[in-house]
């Protein structure tokens, strides 16, 4: 029996001719990632080990992004811990304020993630880099510590689900709608510890930012990782951002999949995830047929939807319009480069003239950190990735996950809205 893309990457990293689902392996790592919340725990664990330092200062990335610029004394102490560790170990890829961005947007932008890599990160959305044909997955801080010390990690080789994409998305349908549709279809545990492999002619109709969004939210379906084939779109992105050599892996024709789903992208509609699980999805048509859902706040940003195409889409909806009375619109570019590009393209002017505010790159409100925490009873339409109880603030607040287009349209009307009807 042949191997999937993920299995081929893991076999190479484990120095084995082949691997099979369920097999336990020890694999070499190409990159170990940590942020300002998870790294201090890993650093403390490394202090208990019999090690003099990190395995490779060039293969560790430390990105303070959750509470940066620091929101309080505790977050300042966490960042100080990471900063001092980076200095002691001469970490090449440490990103200070002014250079940083949301980690899962920053690392591909810096060319640190390429096809064929094995990447672990002490953040669950590390699966984002599968959009580039890498195996990347989230781990705990203890595993991050072991990875920084040894350059290796153990894995149980995952089985796989194949998603065959066909057709072309219609206007205002993006990667966010694709992944919300899939999560609504299979559930938040539908891909539990399995690889989500995206194939088919429809892949070519998705830009890199769409693919990053889809891979980013594989974890919301329980997936071990999400992964895309390396095509001309991928190679064009890599030519712009990366200088490292990379290896392209393709699934064998006789690779084994637990299930195969075919998804016609042309049939999808803007999709919204209702509280309090990402699987609780409804199309915009279902919402329009029911009672209107009034909101208090809109957030456009995060490691899921803070990239330049996301901002362009939101600005297209907001151009010449103004947010509804009483609505708070918060826009967060994912990196400094994206922030600058949005500035040069006039997108920031559009957001501000529409009545929104623009933040420095940060995870911010996504995890209830800052820059938009919700009070009791408030509702938010957000382009982030999770809508659990209390995720963005008060336990009695509500989060509705949506694409940048739907989020922007909802800011204009004050209720969840279809951008085509503005």
Domain end among 264, 284, 315 = 264
Q: How do residues 12-68 score in pLDDT, each as one tens digit?
A: 999 999 999 999 999 999 999 999 999 999 999 998 888 879 999 999 999 999 999
The overall average pLDDT reported for the chain is 96
Residue 269 within a domain: no
For residues 363 and 306, give the distance between their C-alpha atoms in angstroms, rounded to a whole number.
10
Which helix (H) or strand (E) element contains residue 228?
A: none
Q: Which CATH number do you get for residue 105?
A: 3.30.499.10
**Residue 166 and residue 101 share a domain:** yes
**Residue 314 and residue 259 share a domain:** no
- DSSP assignment of 316-344 equals HHHTT--PPTT-EEEE--SBHHHHHHHHH
Q: How do residues 367-404 score in pLDDT, each as one tens digit?
A: 999 999 999 999 999 999 999 989 999 999 999 999 99
Q: How do residues 189-214 score in pLDDT, each as one tens digit?
A: 999 999 999 999 999 999 999 999 99
pTM, to two decimals: 0.95
Residue 287 within a domain: yes
Q: Give the residue carrying structure tokens 């891979």.
A: 215
The yes-or-no verdict on residue 291 having pLDDT over 80 is: no
User: Cis peptide before 302, with omega less than 30 degrees from 0?
Assistant: no
Strand pairing class (31-35; 159-166)? unpaired
- Contact assessment for residue 411 and residue 277, using Cβ atoms and an 8 Å cutoff: no
Q: Which two tokens stand for residue 170?
A: 């219609």
**Residue 153 and residue 16 share a domain:** yes
For residues 182 and 187, give the distance between their C-alpha atoms in angstroms, rounded to a whole number.
8
Tell me which residue of 138, 134, 89, 69 sits closest to 108, measured CA to CA.
134
Domain end among 239, 264, 289 = 264
Instruction: Say what the pLDDT of residue 121 is.
Output: 97
Q: End-to-end alpha-carbon separation of the chain, Å?
A: 52
**Residue 283 and residue 258 share a domain:** no
Residue 19 within a domain: yes
Domain end among 216, 235, 264 = 264
Instruction: Give me the percent of the chain exceeding a pLDDT of 90.
Output: 94
Residue 132 within a domain: yes
Average pLDDT over residues 243-262: 96
| Count of the separate structural domains present in the chain | 2
The yes-or-no verdict on residue 236 having pLDDT over 90 is: yes
DSSP assignment letter at 375:
P
**Residue 341 and residue 200 share a domain:** no
Q: Give the residue carrying structure tokens 């029911």.
A: 290
**Residue 304 and residue 217 share a domain:** no
Instruction: Say what the pLDDT of residue 361 is.
Output: 95
**Residue 379 and residue 328 share a domain:** yes
Q: How do residues 147-201 score in pLDDT, each as one tens digit?
A: 999 999 999 999 999 999 999 999 999 999 999 999 999 999 999 999 999 999 9
Instruction: Say what the pLDDT of residue 51 is.
Output: 81
Average pLDDT over residues 404-412: 97
Domain that holds residue 374: 276-421
Residue 286 within a domain: yes
For residues 141 and 160, give the distance between their C-alpha atoms in angstroms, rounded to a whole number.
26
Instruction: Give me the percent of the chain exceeding a pLDDT of 70.
Output: 100
Strand pairing class (135-138; 152-156)? unpaired
**Residue 322 and residue 245 share a domain:** no
Read off the pLDDT band of 421 (50, 70, 90): confident
How far out from the chain centre does Cα 264 lie? 23
**Residue 69 and residue 43 share a domain:** yes
**Residue 258 and residue 324 share a domain:** no
Read off the pLDDT band of 103 (50, 70, 90): very high
Instruction: Say what the pLDDT of residue 288 is.
Output: 77
**Residue 45 and residue 191 share a domain:** yes
Residue 78 within a domain: yes
Residue 271 within a domain: no
**Residue 151 and residue 110 share a domain:** yes
The yes-or-no verdict on residue 422 having pLDDT over 90 is: no
Residue 270 within a domain: no
Q: Which two tokens stand for residue 171?
A: 């206007």
Instruction: Say what the pLDDT of residue 106 is.
Output: 97
Q: How do residues 61-98 score in pLDDT, each as one tens digit?
A: 999 999 999 999 999 999 999 999 999 999 999 999 99
């Amino acid at each position: 029996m042949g191997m999937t893309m993920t299995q081929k990457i893991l076999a190479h990293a484990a120095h084995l001719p082949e691997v099979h689902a369920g097999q336990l392996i020890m694999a070499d790592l190409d990159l170990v990632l940590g942020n300002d919340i998870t790294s201090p725990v890993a650093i403390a664990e490394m202090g208990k080990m019999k090690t003099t330092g990190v395995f490779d200062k060039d293969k560790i990335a430390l990105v303070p992004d959750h509470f940066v610029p620091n929101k309080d004394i505790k977050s300042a102490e966490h960042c100080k811990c990471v900063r001092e560790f980076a200095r002691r170990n001469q970490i090449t890829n440490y990103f200070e304020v002014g250079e940083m961005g949301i980690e899962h947007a920053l690392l591909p932008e810096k060319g640190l993630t390429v096809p064929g890599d094995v990447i672990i990160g002490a953040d669950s959305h590390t699966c984002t880099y599968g959009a580039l044909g890498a195996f990347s997955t989230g781990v705990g801080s203890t595993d991050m510590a072991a990875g920084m010390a040894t350059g290796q990690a153990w894995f149980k080789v995952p089985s796989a689900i194949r998603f065959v994409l066909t057709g072309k998305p219609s206007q205002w349908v993006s990667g966010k709608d694709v992944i919300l549709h899939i999560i609504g279809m299979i559930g938040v545990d539908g891909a539990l510890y399995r690889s989500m492999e995206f194939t088919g002619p429809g892949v070519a109709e998705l830009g890199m930012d769409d693919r990053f969004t889809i891979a980013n939210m594989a974890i919301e379906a329980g997936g071990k990782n999400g992964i895309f084939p390396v095509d001309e779109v991928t190679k064009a992105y890599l030519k712009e951002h990366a200088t490292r050599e990379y290896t392209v892996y393709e699934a064998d024709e006789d690779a084994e999949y637990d299930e195969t789903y075919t998804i016609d992208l042309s049939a999808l509609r803007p999709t919204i995830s209702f509280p309090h699980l990402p699987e609780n999805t409804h199309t915009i048509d279902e919402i329009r047929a029911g009672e209107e859902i009034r909101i208090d706040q809109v957030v456009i940003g995060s490691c899921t939807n803070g990239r330049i195409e996301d901002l362009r889409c939101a600005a297209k909806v907001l151009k010449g319009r103004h947010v509804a009375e009483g609505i708070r619109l918060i826009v967060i570019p994912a990196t400094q480069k994206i922030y600058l590009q949005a500035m040069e393209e006039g997108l920031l002017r559009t957001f501000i003239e529409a009545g929104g505010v623009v933040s420095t790159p940060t995870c911010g409100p996504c995890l209830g950190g800052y820059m938009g925490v919700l009070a009791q009873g408030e509702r938010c339409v957000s382009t982030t990735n999770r809508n659990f109880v209390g995720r963005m603030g008060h336990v009695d607040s509500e989060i509705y996950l949506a694409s940048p287009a739907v989020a922007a349209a909802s800011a204009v009307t004050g209720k969840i809205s279809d951008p085509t009807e503005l």
